[in-house]
C-alpha cells in the first residue's frame, strides 16, 4: 500500500509517499480502505521531531473509510461498513489503516468531513469532561473558532452551558452561529470578558496556547477551574491541568456524533482537501495558519 512517511526530521519537503506492507488488525481493531484522513498540528510537530525520536515514521491519527478486515472479537461492524476513528499507531495517511477506536459514520456525513472529526471531537469532549462542564455553567474558551474550539463550543452549548469564546473578529459571526458569545483576542481581553461576565466564569478552556493562562486563571477564579490542551509548559508553570490522551481518551464522543448531528446540535467545521500526493502542501497550508477549520487528505 501507499503511505506517507518521513525518514528525517524537517520541513514538509521531508514527507514521501512510499510503498509499505499492508497492516493487519489486532483483536478489537478493524482495518479500513481509507477514503480520507485528517491532518493535525500534531502531524507537523511529529515531522519536526518534537514528539517521537525514532525514524522513519508514518503519519496520521484519524481516518474514515470502508471496513475491509476485522480483528478477532469485532462484532459491531461488518466488512464494507463506513466508519471513522483513530489510528493509534499514527499511520492513517495511507491507503489502508488499522483503527483501534471507531464508530459508524453518521449518514449525513461524507468521508472527508468524517475524517476531519475524530481528533477534534475527542479532544473537546475530554477537556469538557475534565472541567465538569454542565448545564448553567459559564465556560470561557480561548481559541474557539478552530476545529477543536468550535467542537468544544457546540458540545458545551448542547450540555446547557453558556459559552464565551475568543477569536479574531473575522470569526465572531461564526461563533455566534454556534451559540457562543464572541470576544476579541489581544489587549483588553480580560475587560471584554468581564463586560459579559462581571463575576468571572465558572470554567476556562485554553485551545489556542497563546500564553494567557494567568488571565484565564484570574477570570475562572483559580487554576483548578482551567484546562489547557495546547500549552504544556504554561500548564506546568501555572499549576493548570494539561489534558492529553494519556490521561484517558473520550472515545465515546465518536458514537455520540450521530445523535448530536440529527438533533441539530453539531455542525462540522469547514474543510480544505488535498490529494494524498500533495501531503507536503497540506502541511504547509496548516502551518501557515490561514485555513479555518480542518485540512483533509483524500485517498482512493
Residue ranges of the domains in the chain? 2-117+268-298, 125-247
pTM value is: 0.91
- Which DSSP string corresponds to the chain? -EEEEESS-SSGGG-EEEE-PPP---TT-EEEEEEEEEE-HHHHHHHTTSS---SSEE--SEEEEEEEEE-TT--SS-TT-EEEEE-TTS--SBSEEEESEEEEPPTT--HHHHHTSHHHHHHHHHHHHHHT--TT-EEEEES-SSHHHHHHHHHHHHTT-EEEEEE-GGGHHHHHHHT-EEEE-STTHHHHHHHH-TT--SEEEESS--S-HHHHHHHTTSGGGEEESS-HHHHHHHT-EE--GGG---THHHHHHHHHHHTT---PPPEEEEEGGGHHHHHHHHHHT--SSEEEEE--
Highest CATH level, class, for 125-247: alpha beta
**What count of other Cβ atoms lies within 10 Å of the Cβ of residue 160?**
11
**What count of other Cβ atoms lies within 10 Å of the Cβ of residue 267?**
13
Q: What is the predicted pLDDT for the residue at 298?
A: 98
**How would you class 213 by CB atoms within 10 Å of its CB: exposed for 0-12, middle for 13-18, buried for 19 or more?**
buried
**How far apart, in whole angstroms, are the C-alpha atoms of residue 112 and residue 36?**
5
**What count of other Cβ atoms lies within 10 Å of the Cβ of residue 275?**
11
Show Cβ contacts of residue 82 under 8 Å, excluding neighbours closer than 6 positions.
Answer: 64, 65, 66, 67, 104, 105, 111, 114
Q: What CATH topology corresponds to 2-117+268-298? A: Quinone Oxidoreductase; Chain A, domain 1 (3.90.180)
**How far apart, in whole angstroms, are the C-alpha atoms of residue 84 and residue 239?**
35
- β-pairing verdict for 101-104 and 138-142: unpaired
Q: What is the largest CA-CA distance in the chain?
A: 59
Q: In what order do the strands lie in the sheet with 16-19?
A: 16-19, 2-6, 57-58
Residue-level pLDDT, tens digit, the chain, 300 residues:
999 999 999 999 999 999 999 999 999 999 999 999 999 988 988 999 988 889 999 999 999 999 999 999 999 999 999 999 999 899 999 999 999 999 999 998 999 999 999 999 999 999 999 999 999 999 999 999 988 999 999 999 999 999 999 999 999 999 999 999 999 999 999 999 999 999 999 999 999 988 999 999 999 999 999 999 999 999 999 999 998 866 678 888 898 888 888 888 999 988 999 999 999 999 999 888 766 678 999 997
Amino acid at each position: 500500500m501507499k503511505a506517507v512517511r518521513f525518514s528525517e526530521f524537517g520541513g514538509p519537503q521531508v514527507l514521501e509517499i512510499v510503498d509499505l506492507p499492508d497492516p493487519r488488525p489486532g483483536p478489537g481493531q478493524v482495518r479500513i480502505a481509507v477514503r480520507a484522513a485528517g491532518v493535525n498540528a500534531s502531524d507537523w510537530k511529529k515531522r519536526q521531531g518534537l514528539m517521537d525520536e525514532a525514524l522513519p515514521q508514518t503519519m496520521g491519527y484519524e481516518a474514515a473509510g470502508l471496513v475491509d478486515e476485522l480483528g478477532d472479537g469485532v462484532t459491531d461492524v461488518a466488512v464494507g461498513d463506513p466508519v471513522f476513528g483513530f489510528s493509534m499507531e499514527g499511520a492513517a495517511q495511507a491507503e489502508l489503516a488499522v483503527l483501534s477506536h471507531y464508530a459508524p459514520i453518521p449518514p449525513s456525513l461524507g468521508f472527508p468531513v468524517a475524517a476531519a472529526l475524530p481528533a477534534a471531537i475527542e479532544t473537546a469532549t475530554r477537556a469538557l469532561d475534565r472541567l465538569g462542564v454542565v448545564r448553567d455553567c459559564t465556560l470561557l474558551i480561548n481559541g474557539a473558532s478552530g476545529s477543536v474550539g468550535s467542537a468544544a463550543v457546540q458540545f458545551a452549548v448542547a450540555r446547557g452551558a453558556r459559552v464565551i469564546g475568543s477569536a479574531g473578529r473575522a470569526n465572531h459571526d461564526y461563533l455566534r452561529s454556534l451559540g457562543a458569545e464572541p470576544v476579541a483576542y489581544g489587549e483588553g481581553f480580560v475587560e471584554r470578558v468581564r463586560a459579559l461576565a462581571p463575576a468571572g466564569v465558572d470554567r476556562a478552556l485554553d485551545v489556542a496556547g497563546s500564553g494567557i493562562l494567568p488571565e484565564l486563571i484570574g477570570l475562572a477564579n483559580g487554576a483548578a477551574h482551567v484546562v489547557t490542551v495546547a500549552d504544556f509548559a504554561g500548564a506546568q508553570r501555572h499549576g493548570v491541568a494539561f489534558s492529553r490522551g494519556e490521561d484517558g481518551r473520550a472515545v465515546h464522543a465518536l458514537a455520540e456524533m450521530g445523535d448530536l448531528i440529527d438533533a441539530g446540535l453539531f455542525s462540522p467545521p469547514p474543510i480544505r482537501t488535498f490529494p494524498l500526493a500533495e501531503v507536503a502542501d497540506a502541511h504547509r497550508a496548516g502551518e501557515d495558519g490561514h485555513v479555518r477549520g480542518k485540512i483533509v487528505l483524500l485517498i482512493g
